[in-house]
A and B are shown apart, each in its own frame.
Chain A
Amino acid sequence: AQTVTQSQPEMSVQEAETVTLSCTYDTSESDYYLFWYKQPPSRQMILVIRQEAYKQQNATENRFSVNFQKAAKSFSLKISDSQLGDAAMYFCAYNPVNDMRFGAGTRLTVKP
């Protein structure tokens, strides 16, 4: 079975601080995509960052970066310099070939 696990239902961070959201997945595939999605109160799912499994280098998008450990099947999201607008649900997703699997989500609260 191909599953995605987010073990932190809720996380909290102080504004301007750094927070890391965890994600693990289970797969027998060797090539796939991994994503982090953000869902703010507007309910729209926003792609935050993506990682291709065959790329060794960790993806980075401005204040967002990932720590991708392929052997450990781990894909954590680090948010630096947290802002109030970062408060949202964050979903980790695994996609072998356009066959998306999502984690249950982590609710991030940003304290001013």
Chain B
Amino acid sequence: NAGVMQNPRHLVRRRGQEARLRCSPMKGHSHVYWYRQLPEEGLKFMVYLQKENIIDESGMPKERFSAEFPKEGPSILRIQQVVRGDSAAYFCASSQGLYNSPLHFGNGTRLTVT
């Protein structure tokens, strides 16, 4: 019973490159959430997606960041033209989408921008 799978575990990018973070939700889960955690800070909500739909992207920066959750395949968080301030841990979580459904988190992707 695989949990939420995120890859890569660690990602190093130079300024200006693109970063792609992947998240495969738990089996049976159709809702995915992305969070960002800056060093020694709490998780910050970024975006909430269902299959093929963005439900809430109120936490996403207006530029360079995008997310998708296609009908087939993992959810992708894409960061274009990365800057050093993008360095953080990015967590994905999934759920069945009901309010009383717990979130199951992945182990995160640590992005380092050099």
Contacts and interface: CB of A to CB of B under 8 A. Distances in A.
Interface of A: 9, 33, 35, 37, 39, 41, 43-47, 89, 91, 98-102, 104-105, 107
Contacts of B40: 33
Contacts of B103: 39, 89, 91, 105
Classify chain B's interface size: 20 to 34
A99 B99 contact: no
Contacts, number: 49
B110 A104 contact: no
Interface of B: 33, 35, 37, 39-45, 48, 56, 59, 89, 91, 99-100, 102-105, 107-108, 110
Contact of B102 (A44, A45, A98, A105): A105
Secondary structure at chain B's binding surface: helix, strand, loop or mixed?
A: strand
A100 B91 contact: yes
Contacts of A105: 102-103
Given A41-B99, A89-B102, A98 B89 contact: yes
